[in-house]
Amino acid sequence: MRILLIGSGGREHALAWKMKESPLVNELFIAPGNPGMKDLGELVDGSPEDLEGLLTFAKERRIDLTVVGPEAPLVKGIVDLFRREGLRIIGPDKKGAVLEGSKGFSKDFMERYQIPTAKSHTSEDYREALQIIKEYRLPLVLKADGLAAGKGVLICETMEEAREGLKKILKDRDFGHAGDQVVIEEFLTGVETSVIAFVDGKTIAPMASSRDYKRIGEGDQGLNTGGMGTYSPNEAYTKEVEARVEEEILKPTLKGIQKENMDYRGIIFIGIMITKEGPKVLEYNVRFGDPETQVILTRLDTDLVEIFKAVENASLKDISIQWKEEKAVCVILASRGYPEAYEKGKIIEGLERVDEQTLVFHGGTGLKEEKLVTNGGRVLGVTSLDETLEKARKRAYDNVDKIRFEGKTYRRDIAKMQ
């Protein structure tokens, strides 16, 4: 098979690595990819949001299957475009992608299908929103409605912070068009878990559980990020919780997808808070999570390309997906200043010293005069697999210490049990 993978981050590096293991893959093209992927496939110039350019490439190279990593092309309608041209592609259509493209829509979707979630209001009017926040206990959550690269969520501890947050989103337009509306939401307490599932329109098949660490600082302090680390499986995702998620979240979500006539053959990511009342949905994403993908695919023991084929032709129920018993931990190395303004172009050293049970997935990296340099906020994902979570955690951090670049920033509490 000739496969085209769209994207350039750590998630896509993990996808490329896992697909390359499949005997079904003859050629792998990655658009645009990053330096860490150059030995896995042919890197192709172009933007993931240049839908027509990607379509032309797929036709010219006779691509058998396209896998979409990031959310933006999905929300723009790449799946509709490719399928109209008779091309096979993994992802939801534009109608399905709205589950991530609009947080307001996804909250309405949850209400329609009685999926447990936090109380919320959506508003596009600054003055109206100032009145609405008075109805909420502190802390409260503000979310830019549209795509904001994982940074459009503000947790407000005081009313002053909430008013300032509304100003940032609705008046100052810190998140651009993503802030055309704001979702005001009740703050949920508990333990977070990430449930990512394959969906073929008829069947929803959850992957191994994981836990993501969103805040930049240890002890979950500071600004929200796209994710500073993760581990799998999540020890809080017990059999009891799993059963409730299946009945109260996964089944109603699939029912909603079918009722709304979404052509959903791809991935759904469900961020969940395990509260005292039970699991509640924080958000939907319509693609693999980053950095959850790094630990989940490290533990996957079934051919990923076989699964993708089943997703695309709606035969997922016929696939038995197997997972390794080993545990996985991923620690993200970020640039100084992230998730706000950060530096680029810092030389990265020490990757050759990383041990063979550890994978380093490139996120924001580039080349400068033949040298590997930082080129993004989240630079590398150091991912280790071992027989216990504690061993995997120690191995990951031992290898983090071997990698050097100026301004290296990371959390030291990923997978640290209380």
CA angle 393, 398, 404 (to 5 degrees): 125
Handedness of CA 282, 284, 288, 290 (dihedral sign): negative
Given a cut of 80, whether residue 418 has pLDDT beyond it is: no
Q: How far apart are CA 367 and CA 363, in angstroms?
A: 13
Provide the whole-model pTM: 0.94
pLDDT computed for residue 278 by the predictor: 95
- The yes-or-no verdict on residue 50 having pLDDT over 70 is yes
- What is the mean predicted confidence (pLDDT) over 72-98? 98
Domain boundaries, the chain: 2-99, 119-186, 191-318, 327-400
Could you tell me which CATH class the domain 191-318 is placed in?
Answer: alpha beta
Give the gyration radius of the chain's Cα atoms.
20
At the topology level, CATH places domain 327-400 in Glycinamide Ribonucleotide Synthetase; Chain A, domain 4 (3.90.600)
Instruction: Choose among 250, 256, 246, 279: nearest CA to 112.
Output: 256
Q: Mind listing the pLDDT tens digit for each residue in 351-406?
A: 999 999 999 999 999 999 999 999 999 999 999 999 999 999 999 999 999 999 99
Under the banding of pLDDT at 50, 70 and 90, the label for residue 151 is confident
| Model confidence at 148: pLDDT above 90 | no
Conformation bin of residue 257: beta by default, left when phi > 0, alpha when psi is -120 to 50: alpha
Instruction: Among 3.40.50.20, 3.40.50.2000, 1.10.10.410, 3.30.479.30, name the CATH number for the domain at 2-99.
Output: 3.40.50.20
CATH placement of domain 119-186: 3.30.1490.20
Q: What is the pLDDT of residue 145?
A: 94
Mean pLDDT of 92-115: 97
Q: Which helix (H) or strand (E) covers residue 227, if one does?
A: none
Among 30-34, 152-156, 261-265, 319-323, the range scoring the smallest mean pLDDT is 152-156
Rounded to a whole number, what is the largest CA-CA distance in the chain?
A: 59
Does residue 241 register a pLDDT over 90?
yes
Q: What is the pLDDT of the chain when averaged over all its residues? A: 96
Structure confidence at residue 256 (pLDDT): 98
Q: What is the pLDDT of residue 417?
A: 79
Q: Tell me, yes or no, if the two domains 119-186 and 327-400 fold the same way.
A: no
Mean pLDDT of 269-282: 95
Across 17-32, average pLDDT: 98
Q: What is the pLDDT at residue 46?
A: 87
* Per-residue pLDDT, 28: 98
Q: What would the mean pLDDT of 197-210 be, rounded to a whole number? A: 97
Q: What is the 3-state secondary structure (H, E, C) of 248-303?
A: HHHHHHHHHHHHCCCCEEEEEEEEEEEECCEEEEEEEECCCCCCHHHHHHHHECCC
pLDDT at position 188 is: 95
As a whole number, mean pLDDT of residues 295-307 equals: 98
Instruction: Give the number of other CB atoms < 10 A from CB of residue 155.
Output: 18
Q: Rounded CA gap, 398 and 327, in Å?
A: 16
Of 184, 181, 192, 172, the C-alpha closest to 139 is 184
Is 149's pLDDT higher than 80? Answer: no
Q: What is the DSSP string of 349-380?
A: B-GGGS-TTEEEEESSEEEETTEEEE-SSEEE
